Amino acid sequence: MNSLKSPMEENIPNLTRRKFINITGLTAAAALGLQQISCSGTKHSGKNVSTFEAPKIAGFETAAESDVDHKGWQPVSDRKIRVGLVGYGASRFSAAFGFQDHPNVEVIAVSDLFPDRCAALAKTARCSKTYPSLEELVKDDNIEAVFVATDAPSHALHAIEVLNHGKHVATAVPAIFGSLEEADKLHEAVTSSGKKYMMFETSFFREDNYAMRQIYNADGFGKLVYSEGEYYHYAGDNWPASYKEWRIGIPPQFYPTHSNAYYICVTGGSFIDVSCLGMKSVTKDFQVGANKYNNQFATEIALFRTSEGGMSRMAVSWDTPGPENEIGRVRGQKGSFYEKYVGLEKTLPSLVRPPLPATISPGGHGGSHGRLTDEFITAILQDRQPLVDIGMALNLSAAGIVA
């Protein structure tokens, strides 16, 4: 059996413009002939001793809730999907999306490598069964779907492990980490499994992004001439704790999905060409030899050519104190969106986001958490592809690696 290497354990490949076009343009259309792989899911090594303290992390502020968030929700089934939750680190992510509160979900088991975190997750998720690792949890035949909220460098490896055990999988962002080879392997695992895959891209259900997508689909913009997305997450020299310090010194464009969403999630398109500029940081974590990536850039700005011929400027920065933003704007041949629509179309579709069950909160990242969970569960119940499927997930993630 072959094990996938973490991107931190292998050299980042030499990326060419042609390779970029193949991955981001064709993968979404399932046009690549990819090699099938199998994965044993190597357990992480290290002491099971946690110094876990949940810090305040930008984006996790719970959105204000109103009757509009729940008005009109109708169940599509009375069946409960049996779910496993994995990962309860600094962001407590696996419990932050409300699986335990959804009326069509039964949380069967939870897992974290650290026993104290695992126990805390079990309590929050109101679940009595725990496993010491994802590799053990996926062997549970009672589980139908798994939410992977582990360290970002392991998302693809862990998603493949779940799929190889015949279960649906949802994962936190990004889909892949620093490796286009991972994109090929993950794409093949999803398409050959017949199971649902969804990446929980929080910008997708932010109010502005959802409105732009509705208007775009109603041809209120025409083709987008220009779009921009910004993801600013300042930490200075006080980064949140992370498994094996994967956050420390991370190249910004390894984590590009929140900004790239302001073109890709709006249009369903992709990027086909890129140039990128970076600026060296003054903080201690981004100096030569200070991080495992040997990376000095804490700000990277990418300029993309889009699949419909327009241009996108996508910014990711860890180095600028100020508002913590996931925000974007678009300009099209028939209209624009800068906080509101201005354009030629006089009759717009509803811009109200999909309603939620009464028991589940909209949650953080602008009220996207609950809606992502509802979308994943509903896609399983309706036997359809989730909105953020493998093609969109790879388009959101791979573009940053090339940039």
Q: For residue 236, name the pLDDT band (cuts at 50, 70, 90).
A: confident
Which amino acid appears at position 130 of this protein? T
Residues contacting 383, CB < 8 A, separation 6+: none
Which positions ≥6 away from 133 have C-beta within 8 Å?
A: 43, 44, 111, 113
Stated as kind and residue range, the H or E segment containing 168 is: strand 168-171
Give the closest residue to 399 by CA, choosing from 293, 261, 291, 267. Answer: 261
What's the mean per-residue pLDDT of the chain? 87
pLDDT at 1 over 80: no
Q: Residues 300, 303, 307, CA angle at the centre, nearest 5°?
A: 135
Length of the chain: 403
pLDDT at 325: 87
Strands 311-317 and 297-306: antiparallel
What pLDDT is attached to residue 8?
37
Distance in angstroms (rounded) separating the CA atoms of residues 166 and 138 = 9
The neighbouring-strand residues paired with 329 are: 228
Task: For residue 10, name the pLDDT band (cuts at 50, 70, 90).
Answer: very low
Q: 237 vs 191, which has greater pLDDT? A: 191
Q: Whole-structure pTM over 0.85, yes or no?
A: yes
Mean pLDDT throughout 51-63?
54
Can you tell me the mean pLDDT for 300-327?
Answer: 96
Alpha-carbon span 1 to 3, nearest angstrom: 7
Q: Determine the average pLDDT of the residues in 283-299.
A: 94
DSSP H/E element including 316? strand 311-317
Across residues 70-74, what is the average pLDDT? 95
Please say if the pLDDT value at position 53 is more than 80. no
Residues of the chain above pLDDT 70, percent: 84
Using 50, 70 and 90 to split pLDDT, how confident is the model at 28? Answer: very low
Residue 59 has pLDDT above 50, yes or no: yes
Which single residue is written with the structure tokens 């930490």?
235
Residue 241 binned pLDDT confidence (cut-offs 50, 70, 90): confident
Q: DSSP secondary-structure letter at 359? A: T
Q: Are 349 and 282 in contact (CB under 8 A)?
A: no
Pairing of strands 341-343, 335-337: antiparallel
Contacts of 111 (CB under 8 A, 6+ apart): 84, 85, 86, 87, 118, 121, 130, 131, 132, 133, 134, 136, 137
> How many Å from the N-terminal Cα to the C-terminal Cα in the chain?
33
Does the pLDDT of residue 342 top 90, yes or no? Answer: yes
Is residue 42 scored above 90 in pLDDT? Answer: no
**Other CB atoms closer than 10 Å to residue 282's CB: what's the count?**
11
Residue 304 backbone dihedrals phi, psi, to 5 degrees: -110, 150
What are the CA-CA distances from residue 389 to residues 73, 176, 195, 223 (Å)? 23, 14, 11, 23
Instruction: Determine the pLDDT at residue 91.
Output: 81
pLDDT in tens, 371-395: 999 999 999 999 999 999 999 999 9
Q: Residues 217-226: what's their mean pLDDT?
A: 98
